Amino acid sequence: MFQVNLRIWNRVAATGKLRSAWGKTLLAETDQETVDLAWEEWDRTNAKEDPRVLLSYQLVLPLLVEREAIDALVEEADDPGLRGALPEVLNRSEAVSLATREYRLTESQQKRLMHLLPETLGDLTQAWEPILEMVMAGR
């Protein structure tokens, strides 16, 4: 399983190498309840999607979008176990492949996941900005 606890994501954020507003908001957040609320809102926003696709998205999105910060942490920590917990994902195809291995996605689920994963940081911002604004305003 590649999902790690919030403390590890906070360490990724502390590298100072996060690329996205999404990562700078959610990965740096210390309140698990706030992070959970953001993911719940994402799931509500995408309620028509297959639950397995949504779960896969949660698994691979941070690995894909914030790979430079993850690499920095793995290098800095000199802990081989971190690379196992936070595998390198270089592109959307690798993200889908990883999710397929982890959750045994069907071909149609793979296509939906590929569609949901952002091609650019702008796509990520567009998808997440309203959710992040709502969740952070409610704090």
Q: Is 105 left (phi over 0), alpha (psi -120 to 50) or beta?
A: beta
Q: How confident is the model at residue 2 (pLDDT cuts 50, 70, 90)?
A: low
pLDDT digits (tens, 9 = 90+) for 77-132: 988 789 989 999 999 999 999 999 999 999 999 999 999 999 999 999 999 999 99
Give the other-Cβ count within 10 Å of 115's Cβ: 10
pLDDT digits (tens, 9 = 90+) for 14-65: 999 999 999 999 999 889 999 999 999 999 999 999 999 999 999 999 999 9
List CB contacts of 16: < 8 A, sequence separation 6 or more: 69
Q: Which residue has the higher pLDDT, 57 or 1?
A: 57
pTM over 0.85: yes
pLDDT for the residue numbered 1:
37
Per-domain boundaries in the chain: 6-137
pLDDT for the residue numbered 73:
96
